[in-house]
Amino acid sequence: MLDLHTVTLSLLAALPLVGLLLGTMSRVFGFGSKKFYYGKKSITMRTRDGGEVLFGDLCKSVLPTIRLNPFLFNGHLQTMWSVVKSNSATIYYKRHLFEQEDALYPGQFAIDFAVKPYQESDSTLPPRTTYYSADEWSKIASDDTRPMLVALHGLSGGSYELYLRHVLAPLISEQYGWEACVVNGRGCALSKITTPMLFNARSTWDVRQTVNWLRKTFPNRPLYGVGFSLGANILTNYVGEEGGRCELRAAVVLSCPWALEVSSNLLQRTFLGLQVYSRTMGTNLRRLFDIHKDMILRNPAINIKEVESAKYLHEWDRAVQCASWGYPTETAYYRDASSVDSVFAIRIPFLAISALDDPIVGAEAIPFQEFSTSTYGVLCTTSLGGHLSWFELGGGRWMAKATTAFFNKLHSEIDPDSYLRGQPDNERPVNPRPQARPRFDPMRRRLHDNAS
């Protein structure tokens, strides 16, 4: 007869095996878990019916259960499935070209606005995208109060990307009635560049001009933001730079790379990271370079031989981004452009969703501690999902359901005055500066004394 002590020891010894078995079964059936990180002083929001809720608790309550495609049971399979073509989430766009007003970052950029379906086409633009006519553009301003989403796509992508359309489509449907636009990175989505400047991971200037223009053109529309991968990094930096002046009511970032140097090292450490992910991204950027080569090479600092020999993402960044922006190394660029510290400066409701099995970002790049001290930010990590994937059976994406639920909850049930109170005026302070090209200063740090 077994004594109680022996039984107890046997059960304790079996716990790791049971945990492994349950975890395996969970993956086999596509069930994923969520974990949330936010500060103890998470902002209190007032509901429109007079109640109150902590922002962290709101995020916990609104994000749906994770049930992904069981055949895509790890981050690699989820991420690689994203290359499968699909005609779902059809969105039509009208494009307008803007000229950057900031003399430090001159050049043209394109914004695509989601519109109702139409018949005409333009072979020089992505599918279902045409330019606004002069007459259409002259009538675009409106006093309506429809919520509007500003989207930033991932590396070398554009408004046509399926991951982006999966998130935008539910919100702009007749059911919810949102408006939306996509800020295309310079040279992306078949847009032309008019200066040697492409986008980079810190290029917040085009989204800043876009948001300011939207505020003037649609004065009554509540503005929200969503960013994907590199676009998530840019959006996080933008929201942090704006602080309490930010014109967005809230933002969501999906698969943000956060600490670019950490993610770069992760990609270079494994065969799949280097030969599949990094090489694919490098190849996509090389295609982008080839399209705009004549203009980019007007920058004498760019060595065409170095660009042509670049196979991987970090090599492309070394050859193009460093030469374009004055960084001495690609790791200096990564450290300066990373969005991890921007989390501390965020002053609007901000939800970040990252998968722990993301093979491109890596769990070690996720800023758990930063969000654990944040008042306005909430980080949700999922055990499954890959990079910008979260595929369910049938081809839908969990991230689209999560984003739709979050934005609609916040917009329809929460009083914005309860979380925007006490913020500084929305006017940006005048900051005179010499009209010169941006330069990298290795001693300029975020931590400095007031006398400097």
Using CA atoms, how far apart are residues 166 and 207, in angstroms rounded to an integer? 21
* pLDDT score of 181: 98
Find the catalytic residue in 206, 314, 387, 389: 387
Close Cβ partners of 92 (under 8 Å, ≥ 6 residues apart): 114, 115, 116, 117, 118, 128, 129
DSSP 323-370: HHHT-SSHHHHHHHH--GGGGGG--S-EEEEEETT-TTT-GGGS-HHH
Q: Is residue 444 part of a domain?
A: no
Q: Which of 85, 86, 92, 253 is nearest to 172 (CA)?
A: 92
Phi (first) and psi of residue 338, to 5 degrees: -60, 145
Q: Does 322 have pLDDT greater than 50? A: yes
In eight-state DSSP terms, residue 41 is T
pLDDT tens digits, 25-36: 455 568 999 999
Return the amino acid letter for 234.
I
Using CA atoms, how far apart are residues 147 and 128, in angstroms rounded to an integer? 23
Token pair 């914005």 in the structure block, residue: 416
Close Cβ partners of 267 (under 8 Å, ≥ 6 residues apart): 273, 274, 277, 278, 312, 313, 314, 360
Q: Is residue 394 part of a domain?
A: yes
- The CATH number for 215's domain is 3.40.50.1820
Q: Is residue 305 part of a domain?
A: no
229 is catalytic: yes
| pLDDT band, very low/low/confident/very high, at 1 (cuts 50, 70, 90) | very low
What integer best gives the mean pLDDT of the chain?
90
* pLDDT score of 83: 86
CA angle 268/270/274 to nearest 5° reads 50
The model's pTM: 0.90
Q: Does 221 have pLDDT greater than 80? A: yes
pLDDT tens digits, 46-101: 999 999 999 999 999 999 999 999 999 999 999 999 988 777 899 999 999 999 99
Task: Say how far residue 268 (Cα) sits from the centre of its chain.
Answer: 22
pLDDT tens digits, 166-185: 999 999 999 999 999 999 99
387 is catalytic: yes
| pLDDT band, very low/low/confident/very high, at 420 (cuts 50, 70, 90) | confident
| pLDDT band, very low/low/confident/very high, at 452 (cuts 50, 70, 90) | very low
Find the catalytic residue in 42, 264, 358, 374: 358
Average pLDDT of the segment spanning 400-417:
96
The domain tally of the chain equals: 1
pLDDT tens digits, 182-217: 999 999 999 999 999 889 999 999 999 999 999 999
Q: Is residue 1 part of a domain?
A: no
Average pLDDT of the segment spanning 322-347:
95
pLDDT tens digits, 249-279: 999 999 999 999 999 999 999 999 999 999 9
Q: Which of 185, 194, 437 is nearest to 296 (CA)?
A: 194
* pLDDT score of 87: 74
* pLDDT score of 84: 85
- Coil, strand or helix at 222: coil
- Is the separation of the CB atoms in 198 and 324 below 8 Å? yes
- Is the separation of the CB atoms in 379 and 56 below 8 Å? no
Q: Does 451 have pLDDT greater than 80? A: no
448 is catalytic: no
% pLDDT > 70, the chain: 88
Query: Tokens standing for 390?
Result: 């979260």
Q: Is residue 226 part of a domain?
A: yes
Find the catalytic residue in 42, 82, 229, 263: 229
- Coil, strand or helix at 409: helix
- Is the separation of the CB atoms in 206 and 176 below 8 Å? no
Q: Is residue 441 part of a domain?
A: no
**Boundaries of domain holding 36:** 31-121+145-259+338-420
Using CA atoms, how far apart are residues 409 and 399, in angstroms rounded to an integer? 15
Using CA atoms, how far apart are residues 47 and 57, in angstroms rounded to an integer? 13
Q: Is residue 270 part of a domain?
A: no
Q: Is residue 25 part of a domain?
A: no
